[in-house]
Amino acid sequence: MAHDAGMKLLHSAALLGAAALALGGCATAVPPVEVTRFHTNAAPGWAPGTRYTVDAGAPGDPAPSIEWNSYRAAVERQLQLQGLVVAEGGAAAPLRVRIGIDRSERVSGGGNSPVSVGVGGSTGGYRSGVGVGIGFNLGGGPRRVQDLQLSVRIDDAATGNALWEGRAIAAVPAKAPAAQPGLAAAKLAEALFKDFPGESGRTISVP
């Protein structure tokens, strides 16, 4: 009897471990991200240490949301991985970065029209709409899906001309961990700056 009880305990432990691994896999799964970048024929080649500022928007603009700040932090991390350095204390810098985010919600698989949840944010008037028709096969009937978009533009601060700009888009189940702003921001920013500056005008899928 003791032997049987011990075997049952081991069996239960094994099942719990398998379930934990399965849940962990679901929690970390993030859908592919579609990325498009544009830049001049002479790809940006800023020297390490080049300073940048993030556009805080025009006077009177709404204060940045917590979600937008998550995306800003994720973008800044990628900029700094490229060797760029933030200009502290409002100092002038040769590069000006503008960040825009959009998130809309729709029902997939039920034939319903997209329903906007009215979440977005941008700096300096730079904002791109979602609605590019990305599909995500969820299966199992209608599900709520969030279409997420991160847009970044890097300007020459002196002239205002765009030096580099890119857009990253993903469709994520609304209840998935990947839809949380912190996780979504990190994923989209990492995908957007993959192999920076990227091939101009080409759309790629980043797993």
Is-contact 145 116, C-beta < 8 A? no
Determine the Cα–Cα distance for residues 135 and 38; give it in Å rounded to an integer: 23
Q: What is the pLDDT of residues 85-108, one digit of tens each?
A: 999 987 999 999 999 999 999 987
Determine the Cα–Cα distance for residues 192 and 165; give it in Å rounded to an integer: 10
* Helix (H/G/I), strand (E/B), else coil: 28: helix
Residue 96 one-letter amino acid: R
For the chain, what is the largest distance between any 2 Cα atoms, rounded to a whole number of angstroms? 82
Q: What is the pLDDT of residues 13-55, one digit of tens each?
A: 333 333 333 333 344 456 899 999 999 866 677 899 999 999 9
Is-contact 127 98, C-beta < 8 A? no
What residues contact 119, with CB distance under 8 A and at least 6 apart? 65, 67, 101, 102, 103, 104
Beta strands in 62-189 (DSSP E): 85-86, 95-108, 115-122, 143-156, 162-173
Mean pLDDT of 159-185: 90
Nearest to 154 by CA among 89, 63, 78: 78
pLDDT > 90: percent of the chain: 47
